[in-house]
Structure 1
Amino acid sequence: MDDWIDYYDSTHTIYASKRHRDLHFQVIARDIIGYISAPDAVVLDYSCGEALSAAKVADACSMLILAEPAPGVRGRLIARYAPNTKIRVRSPEELRRMPEASIDLVVMNSVAQYMTQAELDVALAVIRRLLKPTGRLVLGDILRPGVGMGRDVLALLRFAAADGFLKDALVGLMATALSDYRQLRTKIGLQRYGETEMLTKLKKAGFSAVRASKNIGHNPWRMTFVARPALTGST
Structure 2
Amino acid sequence: MVASWREFWDRDTPIYVNARHKARHYAGLADEIAALVPHPDAVVLDHGSGEALSAARVALACGRLLLCDASPRQRDALRRRFSDNPKIAVLSPEEVAALPPAGLDLVVANSLAQYLTAAELDACLLTWRRLLKPGGRLVLADVIPPHLGALSDAAALLAFARREGFLLAAVIGLARTLVSDYRSLRRRLGLTRSGEAAMLARLAAAGFAAERMPQNLGHNQGRMAFVGRA
TM-score by length of 2: 0.98
Mapping of residues 104-115 of structure 1, within 5 Å: 104-115=105-116
Mapping of residues 61-100 of structure 1, within 5 Å: 61-100=62-101
Which residue number corresponds to residue 146 of structure 1?
147
Q: CA deviation at 1:44?
A: 0.2
Which residue number corresponds to residue 220 of structure 2?
219
Q: CA deviation at 1:12?
A: 1.3
Structure 1 runs of 4+ aligned residues shifted over 4 Å read none
Which residue number corresponds to residue 37 of structure 2?
36
Q: CA deviation at 1:23?
A: 0.4
Matched-pair identity in %: 50
**Residues of 1 paired with 2:229 and 2:135: CA distance?**
7
State the AA in 1 paired with 2:102. A
Which residue number corresponds to residue 13 of structure 2?
12
Matched, 1:130 2:131: yes
State the AA in 2 paired with 1:35. L
Q: CA deviation at 1:22?
A: 0.4
**Residues of 2 paired with 1:52 and 1:16: CA distance?**
16
Q: CA deviation at 1:132?
A: 0.2
Q: CA deviation at 1:200?
A: 0.2
**Residues of 2 paired with 1:47 and 1:176: CA distance?**
22
Q: CA deviation at 1:26?
A: 0.7
SS for the counterpart of 2:226 is strand
SS for the counterpart of 1:193 is coil
* Unmatched 5+ stretches in structure 1: 230-235
Q: Tell me the matched-pair count.
A: 228
**Residues of 2 paired with 1:11 and 1:32: CA distance?**
25
Matched, 1:196 2:197: yes
Mapping of residues 153-192 of structure 1, within 5 Å: 153-192=154-193
Which residue number corresponds to residue 53 of structure 1?
54
The Cα RMSD (Å) is 0.8
**Residues of 2 paired with 1:106 and 1:227: CA distance?**
10
SS for the counterpart of 2:108 is strand
Q: CA deviation at 1:123?
A: 0.6
- CA deviations on 1:51-75 (whole Å, 9 max, x unpaired) are 1110000011000000111000011
State the AA in 1 paired with 2:193. R
